[in-house]
Amino acid sequence: MTEISTARRAGLAAAAMRIRDRPVAAWRRRDLWWGLFFVGPQTLLMVAFVLVPFAVGLALAFTNWGGFGALHWIGLSNFSTELHDPIFRKAVVNTLIIAAVTVPIGLGLAVVLATALEKVRLRSVYLTLLFLPVVTSSVAVSMIWQQLLQPQGPISTAVSKIFGIAPPDWLNNPGLILFAVCAVAIWSSLGLNVVIFLAGLQTIDENVVEAARVDGAGPIRIFWSIKMPLLSPTMFFSTVVAVISSFQTFDIVYVLTSGDGPGDSARTMVYHIYDVGFLHTEFGLSSAAAVILFLLTMVVTLAQFALQGRFVHYES
Amino acid sequence: MKSKKFRTRIVSLASISLLALSAVTACSGGGNSGGGKTTVTWTTWGDPGELARYKQFDQQFMKTHPNINVVFQPVASYSDYNAKLLTELSSHTAPDVFYVGDDQIGKFVSTHQLEPLNNILDKSKTISAGLFAPGLYGAAKSGSTYYGVPTDCNPDAFWYNKTTLRDAGITQDPATLASEGKWTLSTFLSMVKTLHSHGIAGAGFWNYWSTPYSWISQYGGKIYNASGKFVLPQDPTSVQALTVLAHLFQNKTFDVLDTLPSGQSDTMFLTHKLGFYVQGRYTIATIKQGGNASDYDVAPWPSKTGKVMPSGVATAYLAINKSTPHQSAAATFLQAYVNAQGQTLRLAGGGNAVPSIKNTSADKVVLGYPAHARFLLQMRSLGFEDFAPEAAVPGLSTDMANVYLDLYQGKISVQQALTQLSALAAKESSR
C-alpha cells in the first residue's frame, strides 16, 4: 500500500516537473502581462484606500493618538472606555433602533410596491419617480426634509390639523427625532429596493404562478406561497445590504439634525466615530468605536447567513 | 520576441501614466510659481458672502504685493473645516496660513503645529500684540508666546427692537440706561418679566460658553482661577448667578435659540416675539432682511452695578503653519490680513463682525449703525474669549454646553450640573 502510494507520489511529482518545464505559450505570457496591467491599478487603489486604512484604523484603536505626535500603545483601554461610555451605548441603541425600524418597514414597503408595479402600465414612469431620491445626493434629500419637518412645515401642519394637537417639532423633540430619521432613510432607499425586488419578481417562472392559479390559488395565496419563497434569495440579499447600510447611517442624521439631535437623541455609531475623532480629536477612541461597529456588523451579517438556510428558498 | 514587445509597451504605458500622475500632483502644490513669485495658500470657512469678501481681500493683497500669489481654499462649514484642517496638519499638507477656531487652537498650540508669532508682532509696522484686546487671545497665547492673531471678533450683545419693548409697556431704553451706567440686572430682569407676561420671549441666547460665563461675569463671579482651575462650583456668587440663569430658562423667560427650528429666532426677533436677541454684529443682516432699521439698537450685558462688565467675545485666529516653507510670505499675508487696513477692507459695507484691532479708522466700520454701536467696541475691549484651559481641549466646550442645556431645560438640577461640569473639566483637562 505504502509502496503504491510512494510510486504514485513520484509519478505526480514527475508530471508536475514536466508541466513546469514546458515552455509557456507566448499568448499566455502576453495575457499575464495584460492581466497584471488591468488588475494592477485596481489592486493598488484597493490596497491604498481600503486595506491600508483598515489596518491603520485597527492599529490606532490600541493607541491614544490624538491626531498629532507620537503613538502610545494602550492595549484594550479604548475599547473599555467606549463600552463603558453612556453616550456610545446610546449611539449603539439608536443605530440598532434605526436598523430595526428601517429594514423591515423599508423592505416590506418595497416588496408591496414592486408587486403592485409588476403588471402596471407606465411602470417605467413610476420607477423613475421612485428612483429619483436614490440618485439625489443624500445631503440634498436631508436638507429638503429638514424644511418639510419644521413645525410650521406641511407635515406638522397636517398632523396638527388631523389630530388636533400642537404641530410636532420632529427635529427638536428627542422622542420624535429618530422616527423622522427613519422615515427619511426609508424614503430615500425605497426606490432602489423596489427596483431590486421587481427584478427578482421578473425572474420567477410564470409557469409556476400559472400552475398555482390553475390549482385555485388566489392572488394573496400566490404572493405568500409562490412569489415570496421564490423572492427569498433577493430578500436575503436586500436585507444584508440594508442592515449594513443602516448601521452606517450618518449623512441623514448629520444634515437633518445639524449634528446628532438634542441631547444626543439621534446619535448613531458612525456620527459618534466622527465626533470623537474629528471634533474631540481622539483618534484612538474613535478607531476603537469603528472596530466595534465593524465587529457588530460582521456578527449580524454572519447571523443572517447562518439563518438563511431556514428562510431562504433557492430554486434547484 | 513578441512578448518582449508587449512588455515594453506595457512598461511605456505605465511610465506615461506615472508621469501624468506626477504632473497632476505637482500642479496641486503651492510653492514658487513662475516669475519668481511665491505662492501662499490659505484657508478658512464661511458662507458665500464671507468667502466673496475674502477673495476680494486676496485680489487687493496681490495688487499691493505683486511678488506673492495667494491661493484661497474655502470650506463651507466650520465642522467640515476642522476635520479637513486636522487631516491636512497630520499629513503635513496643510496650507501656509489658516484660520483656527477658538475651540481648536489650544490643541494646535500644545502639539506644536503653529509658528510662534512674537517675532512678527514685535517687528511689524502695522500690528503688535498690544493692539489687540488682551482678552481675545484665549488659548492662542501660551505663556508669553502668541500663536494666533484674532482676525476680527463678535461680542455677544443685547440687540432689541424699541417698538417691541414699547408695545409691552417698557418705557426705559436699555442703551440709554447703559450710557448712564444704569443698565442693571434688576432693571433687565424687570423688563424680561414684563415681556414674558405679554407673551414675548424675554431674551434668546445661543447655547455656548459665552452665555453662562458672560452672565456669571455680570454678577462678578469666577469661572476659572489664575492657575486654570475650574472654580465655578466653589464660588457662591457664580453658583447664585447660574441658579438665576437656569430658573429664567426653565420658566421660559429666556429661550435657548439652538433648540428652535432653523431661522425661527430671526423670525421671532423681526416679528416682535423676542425682546432681546443676544448675539453678534451679524444681527444687522437679519434686521436688514425684514426690519425697520431705525427701530433697532444694541446694549451691553446688564450688570449688577450698571457699568459695562466683561462678557464673551467670539473670535477666530489666523495662524501660520509651522511647516510652511514660505514663512516670510506667510507673515506678510498675516499682517496684511489682520492689520487695520485689512480688517477695514473685510468688514466695511455690511461686514458681520467687529474689528479685533484697536484702531480709530477700523472702528469706523462699526460706528455707523446702530445708534449705540460703540458698545460693541467697548465690549470687545473689555471682553474675554473662552478660557484657555477649556478651549485647549477640543470638544470640552461643547460637552459642557450640553450639560448647560440639560440644566436650562430642567433635566438636571444646578447641583447636578455643577458636579457634571467639574467632572468634565477634571477628566478632559487631565488628557
* B342-391 pLDDT per residue, tens: 999 999 876 789 999 999 999 999 998 999 999 999 999 999 999 988 98
**Residue A71 pLDDT > 60, yes or no?**
yes
Confidence at residue B50, expressed as pLDDT on a 0 to 100 scale: 85
Per-residue pLDDT for A316 more than 80?
Answer: no
Q: Is the pLDDT of residue A314 over 90?
A: no
- The per-residue pLDDT for A152 is 82
SS3 assignment for B23-66: HHHHHHCCEEEHHHEEEEEEEEECCHHHHHHHHHHHHHHHHHCC
Q: CA distances (Å), B179 to each of A203, B367, B378, B379, B385, in order?
A: 81, 15, 11, 13, 24
Q: Over range A41-63, report the average pLDDT.
A: 95
- Of A29-38, B125-134, B323-332, the one with minimum mean pLDDT is A29-38
Q: Indicate the DSSP class of residue B354.
A: B
Of all helices (H) and strands (E), which one includes residue B274? Answer: strand B274-279
Task: Return residues 224-253 of A near B (CB < 8 Å).
Answer: none
* Chain A nearest CA to B178, separation (Å): 36
Assign B426 a pLDDT band (cuts: 50, 70, 90): confident
Contacts of A151 in chain B (CB under 8 A): 261
Average pLDDT score over residue span B227-234 = 93
**Mean pLDDT of all residues in B103-109:** 89
| Chain B contact for A9 (CB, 8 A cutoff) | no
CA distance B146 to A61: 34
Q: How far is B373 from chain A, CA to nearest CA, in Å?
A: 32
Q: Is A280 on the interface with B (CB under 8 A)?
A: yes
- B394: pLDDT strictly greater than 90: no
Task: Compute the nearest-CA separation of B280 from chain A (Å).
Answer: 21
Task: Please tell me the least confidently modeled range out of B47-51, B149-153, B231-235, B340-344.
Answer: B47-51
For residue B28, name the pLDDT band (cuts at 50, 70, 90). very low
- Interface touch B10/A34, C-beta < 8 Å: yes
In chain A, residues 50-89 whose CB comes closer than 8 Å to chain B: 66-69
Note whether ipTM > 0.85 here.
no
CA distance A252 to A63: 30
State the CB neighbour count (10 A cutoff) for residue A244.
15
Q: Of all residues in chain B, what percent are helix, strand and coil, respectively (each to 5)?
A: 50, 20, 30
Q: What is the pLDDT of residue A19?
A: 64
- pLDDT at B332 exceeding the cut of 70: yes
What confidence score (pLDDT) does residue B18 get?
46
Q: Which of A152, A258, A279 sits opposite B395 (nearest CB)?
A: A279
Residues in chain B: 431
pLDDT above 90: percentage of residues in chain A? 65
Distance CA(B260)–CA(B427), nearest Å, equals: 31
B10-30: buried (b, 16+ CB within 10 Å) or exposed (e) per residue?
beeeeeeeeeeeeeeeeeeeb
Residue with cell 473645516: B81
| A29, closest residue in chain B (CA to CA) | B3
Candidates B428, B324, B394, B402; CA nearest to B139 is B394
Residue ranges of chain B whose CB lies within 8 Å of a chain A CB = 2-3, 6-7, 10, 13-14, 79, 82-83, 86, 89-90, 107, 111-113, 259-262, 394-395, 398, 402, 405-406, 411, 431
Residues of A in contact with B85 (CB under 8 A): none
Task: For residue B157, count CB atoms less than 10 angstroms from its CB and return exposed for 0-12, middle for 13-18, buried for 19 or more.
Answer: buried
Q: What is the mean pLDDT of residues B84-94?
A: 91
Task: Tell me whether residues B7 and A33 touch, CB distance under 8 A.
Answer: yes
Q: How confident is the model at residue B263 (pLDDT cuts 50, 70, 90)?
A: confident
Q: Average pLDDT in the A149-156 region?
A: 88
Residues of B in contact with A33 (CB under 8 A): 3, 6-7, 10
The CA distance from B181 to the nearest CA of chain A, in Å, is 39
Q: Do B86 and A151 touch (CB under 8 A)?
A: no
The DSSP bridge partners found for residue B155 are: B313
- Return the number of other C-beta atoms located less than 10 Å from residue B187's C-beta: 15
Mean pLDDT of chain B: 90
pLDDT at B401: 94
Please report the pLDDT score of residue A4 as a whole number. Answer: 54
Residue B23 confidence (pLDDT): 39
Residue A150 with chain B: CB contacts under 8 Å:
261-262
Helix (H) or strand (E) holding A144: helix A138-148
**A33–B6 C-beta distance less than 8 A:** yes
B274-279 and B201-205: which strand pairing?
A: parallel
pLDDT confidence of residue A18: 67
The DSSP call for residue B321 is B
State which residue of chain A sits closest to B404, comparing Cα positions.
A263
Instruction: Return the percentage of chain B with pLDDT > 90, whole number.
Output: 74
Is residue A64's pLDDT more than 60?
yes
pLDDT confidence band for B120 (50 / 70 / 90): very high
In the block, cell 429666532 appears at B265
Query: Residue B27's pLDDT is what?
Result: 38
What is the average per-residue pLDDT within B414-429?
A: 88
- Rounded to whole angstroms, the Cα distance separating A40 from A49 reads 14
Decide if B111 and A275 are in contact by the 8 Å CB cutoff: no
Are B117 and B100 in contact by the 8 Å Cβ rule? The answer is no
Q: Residues A261-290: what's their mean pLDDT? A: 92
Q: How confident is the model at residue A186 (pLDDT cuts 50, 70, 90)?
A: very high
- Inform me whether the pLDDT recorded for A142 exceeds 70: yes
pLDDT band at B4 (very low <50, low <70, confident <90, very high): low
